[in-house]
């Protein structure tokens, strides 16, 4: 019996070993076309997948990309991933991508493009469209023709509005348009039932959020960073139970400006209030019993409320750049803080219990002041 078990173990080990070797071989697979690209573009990346489709990722930092369009034509039917980064001259030859009918991923970063042409909208297999750091001013109304799209990123462009049709791409899982000039979000944004990530930050003219956002049941992150004109939020956002991360960084918030739904969102794990004008946190912070990360650095806080001790799961606490002289004794109710940044505060003393195991740091430091 033992001998049979031993043979079985050996057989399983050999299978795993062969599987690992095969995987490694696939990762190292090459072709004359790949070798040609790799020899010509030293700083760029190229690969071939198991199904024989090519991925090309050009980087214009040191590579001469003036002939990129000539080289992709050689395998235009076999490229499903195309990316180009840091090449402002790209816009002159953008139209050559029309040859790549089988694209699933298209990423153009800092390519100086000013529009999204029709041939992109006609890419029927496209799942990931990333057009960050360009000069795009308008999103085509027929963008909903991209009915397989999962990720749409249009960060740092000059977009002033989102078309209502974008709300019909129900396959979307991530939608980010940070750093634009958007004033409002389509009322039917709640139709995007599969959306998990939505970034609205750094749209300084955005004034309100539509009520339908509450229908985004899979949404886990909401960031309003630097949306300094935002004065209105939908009621009962605390009912979004999958929402885990909230961020209000760089919003010039003063005491009383933080929306009430934040303190009712007992399920959130991360709250970012960095770089505002807060002098105090309300006692309702004690309601956030699942909070793991609290960032309140670069404010004007003179104290933290005793109720912070109710947030026993906090492991990351950043308070640097405030006016704190001490911490409340309830801080030691927290199970373990392993990231604590506290510089640039006029510390005078800390409760003795901070040395009893609450602070077990992997980053940051505990001020070396008197214990009381």
pLDDT confidence of residue 16: 44
pLDDT confidence of residue 26: 45
Q: Are 182 and 208 in contact (CB under 8 A)?
A: no
pLDDT confidence of residue 20: 46
Judging by beta carbons within 10 Å of its beta carbon (0-12, 13-18, 19+), is residue 344 exposed, middle or buried? middle
In angstroms, the CA 8 to CA 126 distance is 45
In angstroms, the CA 142 to CA 156 distance is 22
Q: Are 92 and 114 in contact (CB under 8 A)?
A: no
Nearest residue to 89 (alpha-carbon basis) of 118, 67, 74 = 67
Q: Are 62 and 79 in contact (CB under 8 A)?
A: no
pLDDT tens per residue across span 29-87? 889 999 999 999 999 999 999 999 999 999 999 999 999 999 999 999 999 999 999 99
pLDDT confidence of residue 28: 65
Q: Are 100 and 124 in contact (CB under 8 A)?
A: no
Terminal C-alpha separation, the chain = 67
pLDDT confidence of residue 15: 45
In angstroms, the CA 119 to CA 101 distance is 9
Return the residue matching tokens 């024989």: 52
Nearest residue to 153 (alpha-carbon basis) of 138, 132, 134 = 132
pLDDT confidence of residue 4: 43
Alpha helices in the chain (DSSP H): 2-27, 32-40, 68-72, 118-121, 261-264
Residues of the chain below pLDDT 70: 1-28
- Residues 6 or more apart in contact with residue 162 via CB below 8 angstroms: 139, 177, 182, 185, 186
pTM check: above 0.75: yes
pLDDT confidence of residue 158: 97
């Amino acid at each position: 019996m033992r001998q049979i078990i031993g043979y079985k173990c050996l057989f399983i080990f050999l299978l795993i070993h062969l599987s690992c070797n095969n995987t490694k071989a696939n990762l190292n697979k090459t072709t004359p076309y790949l070798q040609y690209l790799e020899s010509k573009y030293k700083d760029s990346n190229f690969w071939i997948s198991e199904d024989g489709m090519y991925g090309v990722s050009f980087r214009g930092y040191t590579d001469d990309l003036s002939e990129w369009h000539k080289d992709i034509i050689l395998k235009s039917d076999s490229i499903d991933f195309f990316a180009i980064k840091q090449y402002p001259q790209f816009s002159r030859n953008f139209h050559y991508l029309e040859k790549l009918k089988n694209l699933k991923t298209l990423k153009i970063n800092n390519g100086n493009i000013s529009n999204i042409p029709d041939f992109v909208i006609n890419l029927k297999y496209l799942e990931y469209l990333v057009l960050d750091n360009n000069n795009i001013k308008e999103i085509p109304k027929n963008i909903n023709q991209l009915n397989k799209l999962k990720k749409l990123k249009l960060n740092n462009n000059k977009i002033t509005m989102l078309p209502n049709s974008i709300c019909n791409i129900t396959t979307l899982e991530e939608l980010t348009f940070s750093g634009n000039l958007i004033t409002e979000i389509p009322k039917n944004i709640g139709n995007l039932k599969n959306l998990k990530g939505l970034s609205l930050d750094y749209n300084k003219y955005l004034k309100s959020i539509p009520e339908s956002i509450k229908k985004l049941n899979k949404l886990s992150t909401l960031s309003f960073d630097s949306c300094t004109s935002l004065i209105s939020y939908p009621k009962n956002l605390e009912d979004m139970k999958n929402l885990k991360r909230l961020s209000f960084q760089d919003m010039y918030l003063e005491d009383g400006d933080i929306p009430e739904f934040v303190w009712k969102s007992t399920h959130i794990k991360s709250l970012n209030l960095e770089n505002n004008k807060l002098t105090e946190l309300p006692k309702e912070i004690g309601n956030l019993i699942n909070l793991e990360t609290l960032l309140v650095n670069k404010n004007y806080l003179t104290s933290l409320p005793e109720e912070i001790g109710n947030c026993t799961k906090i492991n990351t606490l950043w308070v640097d750049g405030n006016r704190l002289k001490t911490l409340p004794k309830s801080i030691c109710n927290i199970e373990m803080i392993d990231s604590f940044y506290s510089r640039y505060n006029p510390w005078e003393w800390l409760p003795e219990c901070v040395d009893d195991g609450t602070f077990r740091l992997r980053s940051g430091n505990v001020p070396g002041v008197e214990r009381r």
